[in-house]
Amino acid sequence: MKKNSTPAKYDIFTKIALVLVLIIIGFLILLPLLNILVYSTQPSGSAIITNSLSDIVTRNIIWNTVKLGLSVAALGTLLGFIMAYTQARVEFRGKKILHIINLVPIISPPFAFATAIIVLFGRSGMITRGLFDWRPTLYGYPGLVLVLTLSFFPIAYMNLLGMLRSLDPALDEAGSSLGANKWRVFRTVTLPLLIPGFAGSFLLLFIESIADLANPLIIGGNYTVLASRAYMAINGDYDISLAAGYSSLLLLPALLVFLVQRYWAQKKSVVSVTGKPSGRPTMVTSKVAKVFLLSVTGLLTFLIVLVYLTVVLGAFVQIIGVNNEFTLEHFRYLLGGFANGAIKTTTILALVATPLAGIFGMLIAWLVIRKVRRGSEALDFLGMLGIAVPGTVIGIGYAITYNDPVKIGGVTIFPQVGGGGALLGGAIAIVMVYIIRSSPAGQRSGIAMLQQIDPAIEEASASLGAAGGKTFRLITLPLISGAFLSGLMYAFAHSMTTLSPIIFLVTPDTSILTQKILAEADQGRYGNVFALCCILIVLIMIIGGLINLLVKRTQVSIDRPMVTGR
């Protein structure tokens, strides 16, 4: 009977918010995407697209991209599952620490893994050559798969861990009581129930890895993928149409996979989230299984720790593995002028973008869940575009769109905000990118939170005379402030560590930390790379902690997972 809980009429606040959100999405993502498509129809771009299957070079690039995506997706999902299953179903000490370590790669600077892996396992790696006198070639496909898998497996881990924990333990127990042994229950009950989770993780990892630009630039060697080729089209060929052509080739599969992931894989989920498991899950008791699970988990965790140790140590010694003498020279160089501007600019721009991205994401979440009746899925999708579209594509789209004023029929409707000579030295375009790339995280956590809040709470506020905007401010926002906080934290960390979109937008006036790291890594000055990574991590931790404090002071504690208003 109750189809949905929407108010009788869109009130004025909702109308304004909706129009505003659509205008912002239009400028922040739709217009740049449109320009990518328009420019890719020009000669050099359209040549790439039309010959993509016949031209051997282009075909190779596409195949490289797909092969990399599939490999990382498969390996990352498998590892993520093993880690999640161990976390959920094996008893051992140090679970919590392991969990945190497994999540760290999500917010780490883009080059920490690639450079540390080269130092550890490369041709003259401390482990490969130092311990085994082995000189493998890491550059190219194998190195990329290793680094990307390490960077992205936490996504699968989180996804599958959440699902495993919400599986009703009674299902496993029912299987056992019907006479199935544990292995059989695992095969016939647990695994089939997780299939949507596997599919979802696989698709997410696929998108992440085909979109990645930083790692192919550093560790890709001759293994060219679409993202790095598009980058070269801008920075080597100086051909915008060519870049737009490669971008389109990257954009279409990324969007397609994203759509499949969100609207198919997620809906296939048969896991019943009751929020109240009916008992304790059956733990793994088989010795063989335990040894296998714990050794894979231990090894991977050890690798992550090793990478971070390398980053930290590498920042404080001359050349790690070669000259291990303690030095502060890297920091002295960086903080003595080379990176000061970038540190300041990056922090300020991220700080400006973070609250905007947080509020924007929450506003979309609220509109999607509570206000918009028809087309709420479309609005949700538009809001998610910032993360669905590969960063490289966004960056190139911005460069095309905003390095000149946007005009319609000769009338400027949006000023030049990107590139040299733009307003504020191109800083506005970078903030815009930060916002559109980080607001989806806020949107997701906001939606998750809102779905748990009884709509009657907001209706009660309305019936007591509070109009739409007032209800949002007095009731909704305080109730979702927990999600708001995590959205903010993520937005900030993500802004600080993002590279692929903003690399096309930095100007001499606005240099960004991640771009400095790329430059240093390019030059092989790994000591500086490690020091910059350390600076970035410390900055994120300090400011993240401050945001936490700031929001916590105004935040209400809601000690129940389910906010029903009862």
Partner 1 sequence: MAKTSGNLRLEKLTKVFGNGAEKVVAVRELSLTINPGEFVTLLGPSGCGKTTALRMIAGFESPTGGSVLLDGEDLVQLTPDKRPMGMVFQSYALFPHMTVFDNVAYGLRVKKMSATEIKKAVAEVLDSMSLSHLANRAPNQLSGGQQQRVALARAMVVRPKVLLFDEPLSNLDAKLRAQMRVEIRNIQRRLGITSIFVTHDQDEAMSLSDRIVVMRNAVVEQVGTPDEIYRRPSSVFVADFIGRSNFLAVESAAKSKAGKAKIVVSGKKMDVAAQSKALSSKRPVLLVRPESINVTAAKSSSKKLGKGVGRVTSVVFYGNHVEYTLETNEGVIVAVVSDPIYDEIVAVGKVARYSFDPSRAWLLPSDSIEAMNGERE
Question: Which residues of this protein are in contact with partner 1, per CB under 8 A?
Answer: 1-3, 5-9, 11, 454, 456-457, 459-468, 470-471, 474-475, 478-479, 556, 558-560, 563-566
- Encoding tokens for residue 472? 């949002």
| Chain-centroid distance, C-alpha 224 | 22
179/561 with CB nearer partner 1 = 561
Q: How far apart are CA 498 and CA 214, in angstroms?
A: 9
Rounded least distance, CB 470 to partner 1, Å: 7
Task: For residue 318, report the phi and psi dihedrals to the nearest 5 degrees.
Answer: -55, -75
Exposed e or buried b for every residue in 2-25, given b needs 16+ CB within 10 A?
eeeeeeeebbebbeebbeebeebb
221/469 with CB nearer partner 1 = 469
End-to-end CA distance of the chain: 23
370/494 with CB nearer partner 1 = 370
- What are the start-end ranges of the H helices in 452-512? 455-463, 468-471, 477-479, 481-497
Rounded least distance, CB 372 to partner 1, Å: 15
- Map residue 324 onto helix, strand or coil: strand
3/287 with CB nearer partner 1 = 3
Rounded least distance, CB 187 to partner 1, Å: 39
Among 368, 363, 369, smallest CA distance to 435 is for: 363
152/366 with CB nearer partner 1 = 366
136/455 with CB nearer partner 1 = 455
- Encoding tokens for residue 231? 């980058």
**Residue 120 · residue 320 · CB < 8 Å:** no
Q: How far apart are CA 40 and CA 375, in angstroms?
A: 30
480/543 with CB nearer partner 1 = 480
Rounded least distance, CB 262 to partner 1, Å: 24
Rounded least distance, CB 303 to partner 1, Å: 43
348/562 with CB nearer partner 1 = 562
Q: How far apart are CA 545 and CA 557, in angstroms?
A: 18
335/563 with CB nearer partner 1 = 563
Exposed e or buried b for every residue in 387-414, given b needs 16+ CB within 10 A?
bbbbbbbbbbbbbbbbbeebeeeeeeee
Rounded least distance, CB 263 to partner 1, Å: 20
β-pair partners for 319: 323
Rounded least distance, CB 441 to partner 1, Å: 23
Output the CA angle 124-75-258, nearest 5 degrees.
Answer: 120
Output the CA angle 55-61-66, nearest 5 degrees.
Answer: 120
Rounded least distance, CB 553 to partner 1, Å: 14
Rounded least distance, CB 554 to partner 1, Å: 11
Q: How far apart are CA 296 and CA 298, in angstroms?
A: 5
